[in-house]
Structures are given as structure tokens and as C-alpha cells.
Structure 1
């Protein structure tokens, strides 16, 4: 069975006494070749026969290279047979230019060398696509189809954006190719993509939502629609304003109270007066002397108390130290006080002003420029002074979160506690403040007119700190009410987490609140409320 192939014929039979008639191995004796002795004369003759023609060929080659001005530095080597019966030797051949090699490391779904291709006319795919799930010809056809639609779409854009159609064509085709498991799916996806591009509105600027790939354009259009649905116009949010007859229910200062309108701020500081500490509920005499030595006279809990189940029993526990209600405070400080909701007493420290009166003062002073806006967000930060809770910072933002006013307030009375944990203001920050409360309030009136709608969370505290009487109020603590009703209120961070899905005020112990972030968040959750109400109305 092996004889016909003769696979074992070249090999001698391993059995020296083999008598088989049809042995698969050979039985021929190997031919012995006698080695020629390598004498010195023989070696000298051989070397002369080889070297002589090689020298002649080298000289001829050098002359040829000198006479050729365009010869490449890269030379090829080819065997040349020497004349005169000598042996074959390898010598350098005539120099020839070597063409540059094409790039071979181009992925089928990324066009890193797109700049090498023409930016005018139909773009071309690189010819050496690797790992491409579709044939080259079909991909080039799909690229041409997409480019035709992109070129029509961008026909009104500036000439400087001519490369835009190429870039978006390559990106769209690569996305379609990567997401198509076979050729049929690829062709269908290209067709749908071309139809989608052809139905877009013609853009007239580079930031138009119709520019970009299908995914990018869809996201841009959704953003525009979301912004349109969330637009805070006067007509869309006036229904959320707090009615005047509910100001007392939610403990807001009455903007029409004559006692407040006639306040003069005749007693700016309470030094020497006896008050009850708002932290430890102990009586003390207000004084700003020897504050460092007095540190520790007040032991208090800065956290809130809430019910918890401990060992099967319901107990009220402080969030700051997990101690039970009634235990000694976990933090040392000095005694501080607050006039709270005694608006008449607050008017004796700093006089109240209504937004209408501020607008009239501007008109009398010759400042008639209308800068007030329809809707804005406001947040204030307070510190403890000898006048009680005093305004330390006011931040006003517009509908889009742009900061209109962010100013620190210069204090005119001694500071007892800067309250960094909650105010976010550090020791020394107020040294850079320029304007006092009256000046900051006048600056705020540039944006707050009598008809301006102020949005905030727990705005009654901000209005009292600013000593501002205003009627158009939207309090997000009222728009998103507590389950127990007034006067209970939900925390802003809880509402933002529930409605918007992100966290704020999560580093209170280190940095305090950011008034700009808080003011912006109140506007954002109001936008969410407007969208939800519009959607509910459309379903009815």
C-alpha cells in the first residue's frame, strides 16, 4: 500500500539480511564521494577566481550610482554571476526608489486618518479596512448615501464648516457598521439613517440642534424640548405663588404691616441685654468680650433630633452624636440668640424696606434703568452677632442658574459665631466684604422689582435676614409640602434627591451650604414641577 507513493524508498532498509521481494526500503549501496584535499595552492586559486570579478563589478556599480542623480538610498541586492567561469556571488544591484508603504493599522470603525482624505466631494473609505463586518464596496456605497444627505442638510452653513459633513458622515457610518451584525441589517440601517437626516430642519448655525450625528442631534432636540417645557414664565408659575392670606400661616413677614414699614433700626446691637440662648436655652447677657475665654459656656447639639428604634424602644436621638434627647451637648461654644419671628424686634435692629419702596428710591435717585427680572432664585446665609441672626451673604441667580448677585455683607456689630458648619463662611472671609446690609439690599433691588417672583426654600428666613418685604413669593417647601402640613417643612436636599436624583449639602460638616447651589436647585425643582403639571394636563 506504500509502494506506489515511494515514501520510504530514499531510506536504507534497517534489516541488512532482508530477503523480501517487495521491500518498501531501498537496498542500493550509498555512493562514497572522496573529499578533495584543501591545499594552500587550491585555496589561493579559488580566492583569486572569486575576488577578481567581484572587484570589477563593484567598480561598475559605483560608477552607475554616481551617474544616476535620482537614485534612492535604499538599494536592493540581487545575485550576479561572475564572468570567466567563476562561481556565483551576490553584489549590490543598481539603486531603485522604493514606493512608500500604505498604513495598515486602520480600524474599520474609527477614522483616525480622516484628515488625509479629501474634504471636498464624496469621502472615501481607507482601502485596507480590517475586521470589517461588511464588504468594502457596500460600506463605500453607504458612506456616499449618508454624505449626500449631510451635504444637503449643511448647505446653508458657512463655507468654513465644509469639513463638518465629512466628519459626521464618517462618524455615522462607523456607528451603523459597528451596530449591524450582517450586511442586510447594515443596508437597512443606512437607509433609515439617510431618511432621518433628510427630515431634519435645515440648520442656520453650527450650534443648531440639527447638526451632528443622529444620536447627538436627537439629544440636542430633546434638550431644547425639555428647556421649552421647563420655561419659567410668569403665566406658568404665578399659580405657585403664596397667597397673601397664607403669609401668617407659613410665618412670613406681612408686607403690608404698617409697624414694619415704619421701623427705623434704632437699636442695632443687643449688647448688655438679657436673652435666652437659642442653643442651650440658658439665659445670658449679650456680650462680645473675651469670646475665646468664654468658649464652652454653651454646650449644645448642632444636629437635629429624630425618633429611632433602640433596643425595641422608640427614642429621640440627635443626628450629630447619637445621644438621646436631654443629654449634655456634644459641642462647646458661646451663647447666641435670635429674635426669630418677632418682626417688630427685628425692625429695631435694622429697618425693614419693601421692594416697592426700594424701586421708588431708585427712581428718586435718577436710576430709572429697568433691570428687574420676572423670575429669580435667592438664598441667604446668616451668622450669629450681637444683633441676633445677621445676614452674611446673599446670592441671586436667574432662571438658567447664572449668578446675578453674590455678595458678602460687612457687619456693623460684633460677631459671636460665624457658624461655618451651616453658613459655609470661614473666619476672615467677611474681612473682604465692602457693602453693609442696606447697600446689599439696594443692590438686590436692581433685580428685584415689585412684580418680580422670588423662588427659594424657606424664604421667610431669607427675607427677615435681608429685612425685605415682598409679595410675590414661591417657596418650594410649600410647593412640595410635608406630610404633616404646616408649619412642618421638608429639607431641600431631600426634595432634590427625590425629584432630580442628585445630592446637595452632603458635606455640611466640612464646607457648609453653597448659597448659589441652593438657589439654583430651588429653580430646578420648580421647573420639574412645571413639566409634571403640563404633562398631567395634556393627559386629561
Structure 2
């Protein structure tokens, strides 16, 4: 049967070229073209190195190529025999030829190898076995766009294991959020500049509430109900000062998490006043010393009788002191001990140089915050002994009578040559001697221009035990190599430029005056009793120089601690939180010089300028104004305006 049907293929079709049969059993003229194409497609199997690529339907000639192992290259010319431009122009003709060939092959037997070769040859224009699949072009890589966070609703987050029912968690979340909103609204009313940066938005309050509730739900799963209620009660009892302190710590943590981000530039302080007007306004910030004696300020000169009593008490004790660092008792030998030349007794001193700080209190009524040292983060209650060792013990005294026994206090003398529009930023550095904490450096700058007027090293009265370089910034090399000052010399440091441009500038060379009294006299030559003296913790600086000055502007009093005196905010903390400036780099292996008194004096001046700006802003809201360059009250402004008319 199959052989008889195959015999019909040699007979011409009665319908001729008009035959529309799907698979006609008779012979057609176009079948000859198919056979010819099939034979040409099988030719590379006999001699693949010399076979020409068949032409397209239009008969356009094509380049001859070698069909070897190099044909698998990704080059467009090697895989298709045409450059990209030619291939694009012939795209329409190739599609038409492919469609015609497929139609003809469909009329052949489906399992024929000839038909498969014909289809491959007609669709690619070359033998099927020599054409690998072209690798698709990789799409250009683009950075994924960060999807903005969707705002969250005040609804507890879904947890894998919930510590309570959803209704219970929702009530507790709302109660916690209510306390956050209350404290945040009170913080909005705070007039301090730094407070505005601590205020949270509505969405940030929701996120903080959900974060805190989720943390309690995960970490304190077993006692969730009690823990979250204790947290709510803790914030219910919290006042605005405590909330502000917590927000400051949280802001610092956020900055630490984003250490890679560039720090924000400090904002300039614009008071709206000229420098003489600022100095005139500064007199409004003077704090009277009366009533501050119990906090270390000296308002009157100690009497001779009180000084003699202080000397007698020291002699009666045999110069036995309590170490300011390790609190151990030791004996001091001014002028050195005769038998061995020692300055102190009781060996070396082991102590913690870092200050004490308190950790955050955990949830629960019985939880307490811990006291730790910043130097090594050990608990204060642990009997660790200390993490640093010094060769001798040191001490300090704050008794005005005992301080006066070495050099008595003196009030600022009248000085008619001092201009009335001058203010001074003042800072001192102290080191430990056999007489306690003595003056070793004194710096004075003009305010508000910060021109350096005086910067000198001071030779103390007693033998030096420790220059306290970690905080004073004065090294033994500075004291030894300093040029001795003589009357008539300039009291400003000499900047030493390195010979090699790649090296860092050397530390300015300060001149050394012979005693604290000479340093005090140099400062008296720059001020008068009416000159505002600006500083931070001025009682320490004034006592070190034995000065009584009644026109002091202390940033400790302008920006008080929330607990009040004797607690005080540190200068570095105030600069970071209020002005976004970092100062007072502590001494380490890379920076052994520690602090800089000129930097501290300027920092205190900037804080005072900030207070001037805020106070002047409040006065303007109350009706104060500038008339002929002078600050006048509302009633005075009406009088001046009427006089002009």
C-alpha cells in the first residue's frame, strides 16, 4: 500500500500549480525547489570547509565562511555571515522566505530528516548543525529604587508569638503612645534652640511606640503585661527635663549608627546685633556672686586670721592629704623629703581616669541604673581598684582660706585705659603640685571677635606632681622648652611652621611666666571691674588665678543642669547638643596633648552668644527695640520717638 502511494509522487498533479491540497500525493514543480534546497543543506556534511551559504529568495550573494570551531563566537558577522546593518535590511525578506519554506515542508512527511534540515536552513540561512543559539543580550543593570516606607498606623505589629490578645496589646499601645505625645508636646514649648531638634513628628511617635512595644513583647514575653505597664507608668511620672535628656541620648545613638554619613555643618549664630551692641547686652547676663559661695565662688577676700588658721591646720595634720584620684591617704613633702628626695608617700596611685556615668534604667519597679566608669566601663561598685597607674598620689583643695595661704585673692583693680565695649573670654588650666591644684596656663580672648590677647604658661609655686595633661593639654616638654617671659615681651604664642610641607603644623610655643601672680597681673592689664568676663565654670579659673571679679558670665549658670547646682552640664555636651560642635578631644596615643584652653574659652564665648541671641529675641517680642544703636525698653522707645517728633 505504501509503495503504491509513493509511486504517485512521480506523476504530475492534475490540478497543476492551482492545487490547494494540504499534502498532495502528486508531483508539483515547486517540489523541485525543495529538493534542491535540501541537497544544499546536506552538502556541509560532506565538505563543511568549502560549502557556500545558500542565497536568499532574492538571489543576493552571501559571503563564504568557515564552519569550524571558531563559528561559536558571539560576533554577529561570524554567526550570521552578515554585518548587523545587512541583517537588519534583510529582516523582512528572511521572514517571507521562512514562511514559504515552512509551508512547503509541512506538505512533506513529518518525520523526514530532509524536512527538518529544510526548516533549519530556511529559517537561519545556513546549515542547522553549524549555527549555535545566540546568547541573549544582558539587560543593563540599574540600581533598585528604594521604596519609601509606608506610614504605620497605631496598631500592634504582627508577631510570630503574641504575648497577649490583640485587644489587650492595642490598649497598651495607645496608653504608651499617649504618654509619648504628652511629653513631645511639652518639648515643643521649650524655648531652647536645641529642643526643636529633639521634637518627634506624629509618624515618628507612632514608630517609636510600636518599636518599644515590640521590643518588650519579644524580650520580655513571659512578663509582657507587667513590663509594658511599668514602662507606661515610668513615662507617666517622667517630667520634661528627663524626656529631653532621653531624646538627647537617642539622638546621639542615631548619629553613632550613621557614622558613615557626613556630619551636619554647625549653624552660624546670628544675634541681629553689632559687636558693641552685643557687649552692651552682655551686662544683662551678669550673675551676682553673692549666694554662690557654697558652690565654690569667692566673693570676698579672706582675712589674715582665717589664712593663719588654715596654715596651722595643715601643719597640725603633718601634710597628710586624701588622693583626688584613688581616695587613699598619703603625705606630701614640699621641698622634697630629706632622706630620699621623695615628694609624696604611699607609693603609686591606681585609679579610673574616666568620669562616672549612669546606664539606662530597665523596665520594672525593681530595676536600677548602674554606675560605670567611662574609661573602662566597669561598674563603680566592683572592687576593681582602677585601670590606670600614676607614679604619685595627688590632691586638691577648694577652701578659699587655704588657697589664700599660698597667694591671697585680689579684686580686679580700676583700669581707665580699658574700652567700655570690651569683653573677655577667659580659661585656665591646672596641674597637680605639692600645694594642690595650681595654675599652669592662662588664656584670654576678646569677645565676640575671639582675638587672642593672652596665652601663657605659668610656673607654679610648688614642685609638679602631675601636669594633668589629659585635661590641661600641657606636657612636661612644653614647660621645659618654653621661653622665659620678661617684662615688655609679647604674651601671644609663636606659631612654628614645619620645614616639611607634608608634616602637620607644630604646637604653638607659649612663653613661661615665673609665677601665678605675674599671670594675674597680665590679665588685670586687659580688664577693668566693669569688663564682662566670659567662661565655663568660672569659679575654678578665678580661684586658680586668685581673682575676685563681679562681672562674670558663666555658661554653667546660663545653661543650668536639670538637677541644679552643684550639678552642671559639661562644656563638651553643651557644644554638641546646642551648637553641633565637637571640642575637648581627650588625650590618647594619637593626640597626647588633650584639651586646649583657647578652644575652651572660645566655646564658652559661643554659648554666651547663643544666649544673647535667644534673650534678645525674647525682648523684641516684648516690644524692645534699637534706637540710635542702643537697646531701649518699650516705654523708653515711645519717649525717644516723641522727642524726635
Q: Distance in 2 between matches of 1:308 and 1:224?
A: 34
Aligned CA-pair RMSD: 3.7
- Counterpart residue number, 2:403: 346
Assess if the C-alpha contact under 8 Å between 1:373 and 1:448 holds in 2: no
The reply on whether 1:332 has 2:396 as its aligned counterpart is: no
Q: 2:541 aligns with which of 462, 465, 475?
A: 462
Q: 1:285 aligns with which of 323, 328, 331?
A: 331
Assess if the C-alpha contact under 8 Å between 2:429 and 2:597 holds in 1: yes
Q: Decide whether aligned partners of structure 1 residues 437 and 373 sit closer, same or farther in structure 2, where only a CA change above 3 A counts.
A: farther
Assess if the C-alpha contact under 8 Å between 2:271 and 2:609 holds in 1: no
Assess if the C-alpha contact under 8 Å between 1:260 and 1:344 holds in 2: no
- Counterpart residue number, 2:69: none
The alignment's TM-score, normalised by the length of structure 2, stands at: 0.44
1:264-413 pair list within 5 angstroms: 273-287=319-333, 288=336, 297-309=348-360, 314-326=369-381, 327=383, 328-333=385-390, 334-340=392-398, 342-356=399-413, 359=414, 369-370=417-418, 374-399=422-447, 400-413=449-462
- Counterpart residue number, 2:282: 237
Q: Decide whether aligned partners of structure 1 residues 257 and 273 sit closer, same or farther in structure 2, where only a CA change above 3 A counts.
A: closer
Q: Decide whether aligned partners of structure 1 residues 384 and 483 sit closer, same or farther in structure 2, where only a CA change above 3 A counts.
A: same
Q: Distance in 2 between matches of 1:354 and 1:256?
A: 8
Cα offset, 1:246, TM superposition: 2.8
Q: Deviations over 1:400-442 (max 9, x none)?
A: 1111100100233210111100100011212322331111111
Give unpaired runs (5+ residues) of structure 1: 1-23, 26-221, 363-367
Q: Distance in 1 between matches of 2:454 and 2:309?
A: 26
Q: Distance in 1 between matches of 2:517 and 2:549?
A: 16
1:69-468 pair list within 5 angstroms: 226=271, 228=273, 233-255=278-300, 258=303, 273-287=319-333, 288=336, 297-309=348-360, 314-326=369-381, 327=383, 328-333=385-390, 334-340=392-398, 342-356=399-413, 359=414, 369-370=417-418, 374-399=422-447, 400-431=449-480, 432=482, 433-468=512-547
Q: Distance in 1 between matches of 2:542 and 2:421?
A: 18
Q: Distance in 1 between matches of 2:280 and 2:308?
A: 34
Secondary structure of the equivalent of 2:456? strand
Cα offset, 1:445, TM superposition: 0.5
Give unpaired runs (5+ residues) of structure 2: 1-57, 60-266, 483-511, 623-645
Q: Distance in 2 between matches of 1:490 and 1:259?
A: 35
Q: Which moved more, 1:458-467 or 1:430-439?
A: 430-439
Cα offset, 1:345, TM superposition: 0.5
Assess if the C-alpha contact under 8 Å between 1:254 and 1:469 holds in 2: yes
Cα offset, 1:285, TM superposition: 0.7
Q: Which moved more, 1:426-435 or 1:455-464?
A: 426-435
Assess if the C-alpha contact under 8 Å between 2:432 and 2:465 holds in 1: yes
Q: Distance in 1 between matches of 2:437 and 2:574?
A: 26
- Number of corresponding residues: 314
Q: Decide whether aligned partners of structure 1 residues 225 and 464 sit closer, same or farther in structure 2, where only a CA change above 3 A counts.
A: closer
The reply on whether 1:478 has 2:523 as its aligned counterpart is: no
Q: Decide whether aligned partners of structure 1 residues 292 and 332 sit closer, same or farther in structure 2, where only a CA change above 3 A counts.
A: farther
